[in-house]
Amino acid sequence: MKYLFNIILTACMFFVACKKELKVNSPTVSIDLKNARSSIDDTFVFKLGDTCKFALSGYADNIIFWGGAIGNKYELRNRSVKLGKTTLSFTTTASFGTQTGTLQVLATNQLKKMDSVSVVNANWTDITNRASLATSATAVNSGIVDLSDIISNERDSLFIAFKYTGVTGSTQRTWVVSNYLVNNVLADYTYNLASLANDNLFWTRYGNVWTPASARWVATTTGLTIIGGPATQASNTSWVVSKPIYAGRVTPDVPTAIVKNISAAATTVYSYKYAATGEYKATFFSYNTTPDGAESSIKEFKIKIIP
């Protein structure tokens, strides 16, 4: 047994002695921009329609380009939260009957549970008067409803509810809510936070009338619908409540292009044409990796596109 132990110990020591760390070399790639029409201090000036031609020499396993346009900014690659103006918009139609005040639009950031008691007793803000609602089967757009006063910080959650009230004794109205959007509007970009197409499976319904099924809200990818029914239909209070919507959520920026990956041969030129006038910070991120480490380098260019 002792002999076997010595053999195993010797083998392990030999393996450790033979294992070598895979060295990572720093990228040697050099990148220049030489075809600008002019330069102002450290900014390269091009006219709209020009092609920026970047000359590359040296080597890197991987080279990624961030053009600096909206959605492609290197410095925002890790950003996932940024609160702008929170807005709601939707379209409604109201068919049949003449009952009034049958649809309310509500919002809150203080719904802790999704049970019926919590929903009914939540601290809802009635935002019905902020929106334009239909009075007939003719579709009416709500306009842009500003919900910023309901949001307290960039990590806040938001709930939207549509509350229907129908009264027995006369034909109850049928409502359809479509084109529902909740957006986080920043100075330079709008991020969609919620839509019917993406969230139709995440609406929660509450109500006192469950028969027939049409007397409760039905959510699809194109609309929220409730059918009020005839005059004999029981008085109906029905809610449909959104999923929690995280008001400050944004999508991290992504690269414009992969100039080179580890399986590709070295490249000597990269060309890019900006689609609009403005000032941009173009960034090349070059890196080499092994299982034991990584080395990287960054090259930035200030670029101005003029008419």
Residue 203 CB-density burial (10 A; 0-12 exposed, 13-18 middle, 19+ buried): buried
- 9 membership: H or E segment, kind and range: helix 2-18
Q: What is the CA radius of gyration of the chain?
A: 30
| pLDDT of 184 | 97
What is the number of other CB atoms lying within 10 angstroms of the CB of residue 139?
Answer: 13
* Structure confidence by residue, pLDDT tens digits, 126-162: 999 999 999 999 999 999 999 999 999 999 999 999 9
Q: How far apart are CA 46 and CA 36, in angstroms?
A: 6
Q: Which residue, among 163, 172, 167, has the nearest Cα to 239 in the 3D structure?
A: 163
245 contacts 193 by C-beta, under 8 angstroms: yes
Given a cut of 90, whether residue 41 has pLDDT beyond it is yes
Q: How far apart are CA 192 and CA 250, in angstroms?
A: 8
Residue 171, both tokens: 């034909």
Q: What is the DSSP string of 248-306?
A: TB-PPP--SEEEE-TTSPP-SEEEE--SS-EEEEEEEEEEEEETTEEEEEEEEEEEEEE
Contacting residues for 26 by C-beta, under 8 A, at least 6 apart: 288, 295, 297
Torsion, Cα of 106, 216, 184, 258 (10° steps): 170
Pairing of strands 43-47, 293-306: parallel
Q: Provide mean pLDDT across the span 226-244.
A: 95
Q: How far apart are CA 305 and CA 278, in angstroms?
A: 5
* Structure confidence by residue, pLDDT tens digits, 59-99: 999 999 999 999 999 999 999 999 999 999 999 999 999 99
9 confidence band (pLDDT: 50, 70, 90)? very low
* Residues facing residue 9 across a β-bridge: none
Angle at CA 156, nearest 5°, toward 152 and 159? 105
| pLDDT of 293 | 87
Contacting residues for 233 by C-beta, under 8 A, at least 6 apart: 166, 168, 172, 209, 215
| pLDDT of 21 | 61
What is the number of other CB atoms lying within 10 angstroms of the CB of residue 204?
Answer: 17
Q: What is the DSSP string of 173-189?
A: PEEEEEEEEEEEE-SS-
* Structure confidence by residue, pLDDT tens digits, 168-225: 999 999 999 999 999 999 998 999 999 999 999 999 999 998 888 888 999 999 999 9
CATH class as words, domain 22-78+253-306: mainly beta
Domain boundaries, the chain: 22-78+253-306, 85-246
